[in-house]
A and B are shown apart, each in its own frame.
Chain A
Amino acid sequence: MSGDLVEVFKKSASAASAEVKESRGLGELSAQIVCLARDHGLSSAVVGGGGLIERKVEEALREAGVEVLPVDKCSAAGAALGICCYEMGVADTGTLVADASTYDARLVSSLPPVHVAILNSDDLVPDMATALSRMYVRPRPPAYVAMVTGPSRTADIERELTLGVHGPGRLVIFLLLTRDGDGGACDGLQP
């Protein structure tokens, strides 16, 4: 089931112009993100959340010489790369879902031109109905639920699809495959 969802999610997210990569474990994930930064000359990053995964990624980026900035609106607006984890992925539409109630979570995912999204493959759900019902079972509804499908886009001039208007022009999703038990849980945005 989980395998099917991975395939469906990859297909839908790619159709929405997101790039989807698979990572086997935290080590591979960090290395891949470092590679991405290097290959595209992304010299600065902002990282949202503060869980295990984010800390590992931050550490790897620093070691690779990428400047990891504190999260505020000025540095997020200036950073080349914004990174955060998502709580769920909707296979049917290729949508990332997060409780983005913290200010940081929204800054890192909306201001930099390249957004890296990390998602545990165990957190894939088949459809929007499942995602929303899980998101709203908590006693108090989250203040800001953010759903992201592909990069920012417009077709306002001559109907020509152009990526990256006010949000990121590039969305790279790293699916953390936990089959081999190496990855640990993605804590989402909860510190």
Chain B
Amino acid sequence: MDCSRDLAAEARRALADPQLSAALHRFSEAYLPAREEALAGVAFEALADRISAIRQHNISRIRQLADMFEQRARASGANVYRAPDASSAVEYVHKLALERGICTVVKSKSMISEEIGLNPVLARAGIQVTETDLGEWIIQLAGQRPSHMVMPAIHMTRKEVARLFSDHLKTSVGNEISELVAVARRELRNRFLEADMGISGANAAVASTGSVMLLTNEGNGRLITTLPPVHVVLVGYEKLVADIDELVPLLQVLPRSATAQRITSYVSIITGPTEVETCNGRKPKELHIVLIDNGRLKMSEHPVFREAMKCIRCSACLNVCPVYRLIGGQVYGEVYSGGIGSVLTAFFQSKEDGARIGEFCLGCRRCVQYCPAKVDIPRLVLALREEQVAARGLPATTNFILRKVLPDRRLLHGLLRVVSRMQAPVTTRRGFIRHLPLVFDEVSRGMSLPALARQPFRDRFEPGEAGSDTVAVFAGCLVDFVYPEIGEAMASVLRRLGLCVTFPEAQSCCGIPAHYLGDREMLCIMAAQNVRALAAEEPHWIVTACPTCAVALKTLYPEVLSLDAELAPMAETVSARTWDFASLAHRLIGRDLEPVADGAPATYHDSCHMKRSLGVTDEPREVLRALGYRLHEMKESDVCCGFGGSYLLKHPGISYRIMRRKLDCIKQTGAGTVFVDCPGCLLQIRGGLERAGIRLEVQHTAQALVASAGASKYDKDQVGQRIRGV
């Protein structure tokens, strides 16, 4: 990648292109229902587990598989070249083309050929290279980069394609899509018939037989593997499978995930050269298989990043990514896009390039839910960021805030209190800040930021009577300093259940903001501090109104403290006792609520961490229904609101657009109140509504409960029993 590329500026340009994002959004909306239909009768989770297991096993024996593949493919009559890097792969094909006197090449779509940069080298040698996939051909004629892995020309309208074809053919071509497709068929037909060489990728390489498998829809793959006398297959090590049986699950998920088809029109499995027609009659063709490493073996040996070798290049992760559908593939880089693209680029190109692309990842984890190989892409993007931060450090200001301010809760709280007093003159009556200077300017253009609370939760909290069943509140920064009323609502509900609510004073930030900036060391420091603070009081339960904090306490702390002999057991205890508020409330009183809302229309937004990290979706909805709200599900209720912690500061433009869409989905429900379980989502959605002038309530589930708690008849003994049974 060109290091001088200003990715932020390119992202802004893509955001300003209404055609691109409209096309990508239409596709992403149509994709999920179509995928669902294609998956009817298929147990997706079980299949994904199987694919994941097969690929994991293959990664661990990848050199063996490569050896076997090479041997079997040679035995079938193919030539096999193992290319250690991009340039040697290109050189092999280049030399072959020169030796055979190749003038024309027809290609079917191959990501790896773009990765190694083959076309420009062949073109410089005077060889005519034609991309034959319709979308790729359009892009080639237009001299552009693909905007989508599966549909490279999705950003172009039929009119633009017609204009392009008219210019190319020096004749007028109509706007009908069927006519444009007919033009491509006619124009490319002779290229296929006359080409000296066909170049394809492969979707799999089978070790036990030396076969390669190709999936296509247009039929160009069959033509380029049939007509030219020389066929070159470019295939990466990650495509190796052990035997023919392993193709079955791959065939089951790849088309369904890529294009929501049960299967592609054509599947070809090639084992050795076949016969071809030349001017001197029939003869066996030449088959060359270039097995390309280019960073893949290193990746397969890496303890963390080997996971990315499981990727089957279906692009499901991109199809569901809220960022990708805004900016498209052209912004990310030359070849591989999105979160997975960042990891692949890191190994195939450079770590820096990969990490730069990775900055677009929101960490919303939606991709993980749909990945047929169960690749935890956001975790890998974060690991890449951590590597970069460990090697280069963070920018000075960020570093100061993280290192000096976050761990020192007195300093953090003191500073925030100063800010809280300073902002008083610019705070509106509705509790928003009028405008913000400097970096915050772009942020505040899209949304209203909340003012800090005059008095943080920790100062408002009053310890109640001591009791036998203690629940410790972990506030988290947003509840502590911005929305103390959520903390108070939570504490009040718990107290009315007869529980003794405590606030361990030494708690501070959960550390996830530092974690997401790539500062793992800081996460460890915060983990140790909070685990000590929480464990010291020996509460029976720990509850938080922030799902992100809950993920830190439940999942991350035991992981990062696992090697600390003293803290590891404490972290395990903290983890086991931590609840997100909605789940705890559902467990304790979910069925005993007095309905107070009288059928008021409401909707629920699933926070990313709540749904995809904690797996909680039904509990808050059941609580809200029990309270008497009539819930109207919004479209894409589980798509990120765009907050993403520091993402709002990193990419305010993208964050704003994702939020606008969320607001549209909310408005369409006709609900009067949006309920959330995450104070971050609350900040984002409330701020967006305020700035857009939409009068709609945004509330945390705890606030809904506190309104009715007085009216409800809890049996405190029963609550106690439930809690002890928890």
Residues of A participating in the B interface, judged by any CB pair closer than 8 Å: 12, 15-16, 72-74, 77, 93, 95, 101-103, 106-107, 109-111, 128-129, 132-133, 136, 141-160, 162, 164-168
For the complex formed, measure the closest distance between the CB of B32 and the CB atoms of chain A, giving whole angstroms. 14
The CA-CA distance from A109 to B268 in the complex, in Å, is 13
Q: Is B631 an interface residue (CB 8 A)?
A: no
Contact of B26 among A102, A159, A168 (CB under 8 A): A159
The CA-CA distance from A155 to B258 in the complex, in Å, is 13
The CA-CA distance from A16 to B276 in the complex, in Å, is 30
Q: Is B274 an interface residue (CB 8 A)?
A: yes
The CA-CA distance from A45 to B277 in the complex, in Å, is 19
Q: Which of A15, A158, A160, A168 has the largest count of B CB atoms less than 10 A from its CB? A: A158
Instruction: Mark out the residues of chain B between 260 and 286 whose CB falls within 8 Å of any chain A CB in the assembled complex.
Output: 262-277, 282
The CA-CA distance from A129 to B245 in the complex, in Å, is 7
Residues of chain A lying within 8 A (CB to CB) of residue B245: 129, 132-133
* With A103-B275, A132-B245, A157-B134 as contacts: A150 and B153 at CB distance below 8 Å: no
Name the residue on B nearest A150 (C-beta).
Answer: B265
Are A103's CB and B226's CB within 8 A?
A: yes
Q: Is B135 an interface residue (CB 8 A)?
A: yes
Q: Is B434 an interface residue (CB 8 A)?
A: no
Residues of chain A lying within 8 A (CB to CB) of residue B248: 128-129, 132
Residues of B participating in the A interface, judged by any CB pair closer than 8 Å: 23, 26-27, 30, 76, 132-135, 138, 151-154, 156-158, 161, 177-178, 180-181, 184-185, 188-189, 192-193, 209, 211, 217-220, 222-223, 225-227, 244-245, 247-248, 251-252, 259, 262-277, 282
Are B266's CB and A103's CB within 8 A?
A: no
* With A103-B275, A103-B276, A107-B226 as contacts: A165 and B181 at CB distance below 8 Å: yes
Contact of A144 among B158, B177, B268 (CB under 8 A): B268
Are A166's CB and B223's CB within 8 A?
A: yes
Name the residue on A nearest B178 (C-beta).
Answer: A162
Residues of chain A lying within 8 A (CB to CB) of residue B244: 132-133, 136, 141
Are A162's CB and B177's CB within 8 A?
A: yes
Name the residue on A nearest B210 (C-beta).
Answer: A141
Are B268's CB and A149's CB within 8 A?
A: no
Residues of chain B lying within 8 A (CB to CB) of residue A166: 132, 184-185, 188-189, 192, 218-220, 223
For the complex formed, measure the closest distance between the CB of B176 and the CB atoms of chain A, giving whole angstroms. 10
Residues of chain B lying within 8 A (CB to CB) of residue A147: 263, 266-269
Are A142's CB and B265's CB within 8 A?
A: no
* With A93-B263, A166-B192, A167-B265 as contacts: A106 and B226 at CB distance below 8 Å: yes
Are B223's CB and A16's CB within 8 A?
A: no
The CA-CA distance from A165 to B269 in the complex, in Å, is 21
The CA-CA distance from A56 to B153 in the complex, in Å, is 46
Contact of A159 among B151, B178, B188 (CB under 8 A): B151
Name the residue on B nearest A113 (C-beta).
Answer: B185
Are B222's CB and A72's CB within 8 A?
A: no
The CA-CA distance from A73 to B226 in the complex, in Å, is 10
For the complex formed, measure the closest distance between the CB of A108 and the CB atoms of chain B, giving whole angstroms. 11
Name the residue on A nearest B26 (C-beta).
Answer: A159
Are B226's CB and A168's CB within 8 A?
A: no
A-B contact count (CB 8 A): 161
Residues of chain A lying within 8 A (CB to CB) of residue B262: 12, 15-16, 93, 149
Are A154's CB and B270's CB within 8 A?
A: no
For the complex formed, measure the closest distance between the CB of B134 and the CB atoms of chain A, giving whole angstroms. 4
* With A132-B245, A156-B133 as contacts: A146 and B222 at CB distance below 8 Å: yes
Are A153's CB and B218's CB within 8 A?
A: yes
Residues of chain A lying within 8 A (CB to CB) of residue B156: 157
The CA-CA distance from A142 to B206 in the complex, in Å, is 13
The CA-CA distance from A106 to B154 in the complex, in Å, is 31
Contact of B151 among A101, A151, A156 (CB under 8 A): A156
Residues of chain B lying within 8 A (CB to CB) of residue A153: 217-218, 265
Are A156's CB and B271's CB within 8 A?
A: no
Are B222's CB and A158's CB within 8 A?
A: no
Residues of chain B lying within 8 A (CB to CB) of residue A168: 219
* With A128-B248, A157-B181, A160-B177 as contacts: A143 and B76 at CB distance below 8 Å: yes
Contact of A110 among B184, B219, B277 (CB under 8 A): B219
Are B138's CB and A159's CB within 8 A?
A: no
For the complex formed, measure the closest distance between the CB of B572 and the CB atoms of chain A, giving whole angstroms. 43
Contact of B161 among A93, A151, A157 (CB under 8 A): A157
Residues of chain A lying within 8 A (CB to CB) of residue B30: 159
Name the residue on A nearest B137 (C-beta).
Answer: A156
Are B270's CB and A156's CB within 8 A?
A: no
* With A103-B275, A141-B209, A143-B270 as contacts: A155 and B259 at CB distance below 8 Å: yes
* With A77-B193, A154-B134 as contacts: A148 and B266 at CB distance below 8 Å: yes
* With A136-B209, A144-B268, A165-B218 as contacts: A73 and B277 at CB distance below 8 Å: yes
Q: Which 8 A-B pairs have the closest CB atoms?
A: A167-B219, A156-B135, A152-B219, A147-B267, A165-B218, A166-B219, A156-B134, A145-B269
Residues of chain B lying within 8 A (CB to CB) of residue A160: 177
Supply 25 A–B pairs (Cβ within 8 Å), ascending by A: A16-B262, A95-B267, A101-B274, A102-B275, A106-B222, A106-B226, A136-B209, A141-B209, A141-B211, A143-B270, A144-B268, A147-B267, A149-B264, A154-B134, A155-B151, A156-B154, A157-B177, A157-B180, A159-B151, A165-B184, A165-B185, A165-B217, A166-B220, A167-B223, A167-B265
The CA-CA distance from A145 to B222 in the complex, in Å, is 11
Are B247's CB and A132's CB within 8 A?
A: yes
- Name 10 extra pairs, CB < 8 A, besides A103-B226, A167-B266: A95-B263, A101-B274, A107-B226, A141-B76, A143-B274, A146-B268, A149-B267, A158-B23, A162-B181, A165-B218
For the complex formed, measure the closest distance between the CB of B245 and the CB atoms of chain A, giving whole angstroms. 7
Residues of chain B lying within 8 A (CB to CB) of residue A164: 181, 185
Name the residue on B nearest A130 (C-beta).
Answer: B248
The CA-CA distance from A128 to B251 in the complex, in Å, is 8
Are B181's CB and A149's CB within 8 A?
A: no
* With A136-B209, A159-B30, A162-B177 as contacts: A154 and B217 at CB distance below 8 Å: yes
Residues of chain A lying within 8 A (CB to CB) of residue B138: 156-157
Are A146's CB and B266's CB within 8 A?
A: yes
Name the residue on A nearest B226 (C-beta).
Answer: A106
The CA-CA distance from A15 to B37 in the complex, in Å, is 12
For the complex formed, measure the closest distance between the CB of B172 and the CB atoms of chain A, giving whole angstroms. 17
Residues of chain A lying within 8 A (CB to CB) of residue B247: 132
The CA-CA distance from A77 to B217 in the complex, in Å, is 19
* With A93-B263, A151-B265 as contacts: A142 and B271 at CB distance below 8 Å: yes
Residues of chain A lying within 8 A (CB to CB) of residue B133: 156
The CA-CA distance from A143 to B269 in the complex, in Å, is 8
For the complex formed, measure the closest distance between the CB of B584 and the CB atoms of chain A, giving whole angstroms. 45
Name the residue on B nearest A102 (C-beta).
Answer: B275
Name the residue on B nearest A129 (C-beta).
Answer: B248
Name the residue on B nearest A103 (C-beta).
Answer: B275
Name the residue on A nearest B259 (C-beta).
Answer: A155
Residues of chain B lying within 8 A (CB to CB) of residue A162: 177-178, 181
Are B153's CB and A157's CB within 8 A?
A: yes
Are A72's CB and B266's CB within 8 A?
A: no
Name the residue on B nearest A104 (C-beta).
Answer: B275
Are B270's CB and A144's CB within 8 A?
A: yes
Name the residue on A nearest B270 (C-beta).
Answer: A144
